[in-house]
Amino acid sequence: MKSDHGWVEVVCGCMFSGKTDELIRRLRRATIARQKVQVFKPTIDNRYAVEKVASHAGTDYAAIPVNSSAEILGKLETDTTVVGVDEAQFFDEGIVDIVEKMADKGIRVIVAGLDCDFRGEPFGCMPEFMAKAEKVDKLQAICMVCGEPATRTQRLVNGQPARYDDPVVIVGAAEMYEARCRHHHQVPRD
């Protein structure tokens, strides 16, 4: 049964902080509660499976890949009560309005994504989601250098930190990225 009151939840943090695992945990609980769940992800994220959201830890959940945020409303089923959006930072800026429309229609929308890019700067639509959401959970990982809490994503190129002017979007996993604390995060600008 669809509620009259939808809302937006955001799960964010750096890579390897457990964002997708937390999204999947919430989706599974909604499924157990017999709520109609649909999950959307950008087609650019094909690291583990095309029609699933999948975590680095190996959990997964069926998902619908879309090329743009506008496709979501067209694929949304009328009885859906919970929507998951993974890797939200990769969507076009229209995703914010789409999510707001779904919440206004009484849908619980759970958005997961990186809050910052490899440079440590706000990433895509995530800052706006964090400002507008009813609930925000910012997760931390473990720094691969010192073992302290990590909030940054370090991109590596041939084992060395990526340069500031490198492309912002390069989809990858442990072969290119690791979690770092503020102290050990490096982005050379030369």
pLDDT of residue 131: 97
Residue 15 lies in a domain: yes
Provide the domain limits for residue 77: 7-139
pLDDT of residue 139: 98
3-state secondary structure of 74: helix
pLDDT at 54: 80
What total number of domains does the chain contain?
A: 1
Residue 171 lies in a domain: no
Domain contains 128? yes
Is there a domain that residue 177 lies in? Answer: no
Which of 183, 187, 123 is CA-nearest to residue 156?
Answer: 187
Flag whether 60 is in a domain.
Answer: yes
> What is the model's pLDDT at position 25?
96
Which pLDDT score, from 0 to 100, does residue 49 have? Answer: 66
Per-residue pLDDT of the chain (190 residues; tens, 9 = 90+): 555 789 999 999 999 999 999 999 999 999 999 999 999 999 886 666 667 788 777 788 899 999 999 999 999 999 999 999 999 999 999 999 999 999 999 999 999 999 999 999 999 999 999 999 999 999 999 999 999 999 999 999 888 999 999 888 776 565 789 999 999 999 998 7
CATH no. for residue 39? 3.40.50.300
pTM surpassing 0.85? yes
Instruction: Please pick, among 87, 128, 175, 178, the residue that the annotation labels catalytic.
Output: 87
Strands (E), 73-185: 82-85, 108-114, 135-139, 141-142, 149-150, 152-157, 160-161, 177-180
Strand spans (E) along 2-36: 7-13
87 included as an active-site residue: yes
Domain for residue 129, yes or no? yes
Q: What pLDDT shows up at residue 95? A: 97
Q: Give pLDDT, residue 169.
A: 77
Is residue 168 domain-resident?
no
- Among 90, 24, 84, residue whose Cα is nearest residue 57: 24
146 falls within a domain = no
